[in-house]
Structure 1
Amino acid sequence: MIKVNEYFDGQVKSLAYRSEAGKSTVGVIEAGDFEFGTSEHEIMTIVEGELEVLLPGAQEWQSFGQGQKFEVPANASFKVKSKGQTAYLCQYR
């Protein structure tokens, strides 16, 4: 079953699904600054576009573009900045 998720007044939308690899979401982030919280370990892969990311405990922002990934531990928060629409794949492990 595919589940539709919407956050930040529709500025972030994703589709959640399950496969043999586990639970994942694919989505799009509009331009803006956002803070997300995790309940599970997340592996984020940028499909298209670019995100500036402030990972938990980090002092400096990092840039991630198409094909690059970053990980966020469970029960943490992280911030992102997007200058335009950015597509992503988030895998939960």
Structure 2
Amino acid sequence: MGTHFEHVSMEKKANIFADGKCISYTLTFPDGETKTVGVIMPGGVTFAADTDETFEVVEGKGSVSINGDTKDFAGGQRFHVKAQERFDVEAAGPVHYVTHMGRK
């Protein structure tokens, strides 16, 4: 897991969810791959995945509930979400993340 991305274009406007509890930016790579980079502030946020996603936790702690199965996470871990699946994240503090779209 590297600390930065090179040769990407970034949307200037942020994606803001859950009354500002989650803010992310969309990155597009030369090959067309898309990722989002963001932060979830302490508290709970519900997401709905449009595509298969791998959620990479860069820093922070919390728990994720997918289809009623709740697991704790911390920086350096990943979890996977299927397309059209809803999932709840409970952040214990700021959670910095990268979402890899279309990945299982």
Whether the TM-score (by the shorter chain) exceeds 0.5 is yes
Distance 2:65 2:32 in 1: 27
Match of 1:54 among 52, 65, 68: 65
SS at match of 2:19: coil
Following superposition, the deviation at residue 58 of structure 1 comes to: 3.5
SS at match of 1:70: strand
Instruction: Report the TM-score when normalising by structure 2.
Output: 0.81
Give the gaps of 5 or more residues in structure 1. none
Counterpart for residue 46 of structure 2: 35
Identity of matched residues, %:
29
Pairwise CA RMSD of aligned residues?
A: 1.3
The structure whose Rg is larger is 2
| Number of residues of Structure 1 aligned to a counterpart in Structure 2 | 91
Give the gaps of 5 or more residues in structure 2. 1-8
Q: Does 1:14 align with 2:19?
A: no
Match of 2:98 among 67, 89, 93: 89
Q: Which has the higher strand share?
A: 1
Distance 1:89 1:21 in 2: 16
Q: Which has the higher contact order (CA 8 A, sep 6+)?
A: 1
* Structure 1 range deviating more: 11-20 or 22-31: 11-20
